[in-house]
Chain A
Amino acid sequence: MARSSKAIPWLLFAGGGTVTAFILPVMILITGLFALFGVFSGALSYETMQAFVGNWLIKIILFGILFLTLWHAAHRLRVVAHDFGIRADTGVAIVVYGLAAVGTVATVIALLSV
């Protein structure tokens, strides 16, 4: 039997799982609270956000978070598909990792556009 290349997406999955576990709740809290009650509306104003994301360090951090989150979700989706009885694993892998790759590129473009 050959060693499986699943090691690589799994590392991203595990890293992403950890990062999302720590950071996502508070991020959703911020966007959600803004949406619901307008809290943090100052922080989310166009100017502040421009300045914030304009910072290179922040860009890198945001990229890290989004990149890992995407790959975490993609890998887990592959497993979920399997769990739901979809047995075309290779096909599923191509789709989910493909989407994650597209998302990754999109993230880079978006970040660079700010």
Chain B
Amino acid sequence: MSRKPYVRQMSKTSWFLTHSRYKHYILHEVTCIFIAIYAVILIFGLFRLGQGPEAWQGWLDGLRSPLGVIFQILAFGFAMIHTWSWFKVVPQAMRIQRGESFVPGNLIIGAHYGVLAIISLFVLILAGVA
């Protein structure tokens, strides 16, 4: 018997560079790295807050340092990518059926951006007013 199926191996470490849709995917996957670091910074900030005004000030200074600033710009970018890519797929993961038809995906996505705006505004006001 002369069957001899040929298996093409996919590169385990660089497959995501082979197509633009995989690049997009990996881009939103790596947002978690920045999100994780930012969360750690926040937790650290809470510690410093408990340790008194100087410690807190030190933390604030850290935010202000060039490294801190650069990191936050990056983190903001990736957070936005995360938000955008997350909202984009909500209609796939959660279909809402009204009668026979489904609520159009764009409406669901739009609603999410609406809520995002409200939450952001609320937090900004809280921060500004408090």
Contact = CB atoms under 8 A, between A and B. Distances in A.
B117 to A, nearest CB: 10
B119 A106 contact: no
Interface in B74-123: 75-76, 79-80, 82-83, 86-87, 112, 115-116, 119-120, 123
A43 B63 CA distance: 15
A103 to B, nearest CB: 6
Interface residues of A, number: 50
A28 B38 contact: yes
Contact of A103 (B43, B53, B120): B43
A35 interface: yes
A44 B82 CA distance: 26
Interface of B: 11-13, 16, 26, 29-33, 35-36, 38-40, 42-44, 46-47, 49-53, 56-57, 60, 63-64, 68-69, 72-73, 75-76, 79-80, 82-83, 86-87, 112, 115-116, 119-120, 123-124, 127-128, 130
B93 to A, nearest CB: 8
B120 to A, nearest CB: 4
Nearest to A43: B127
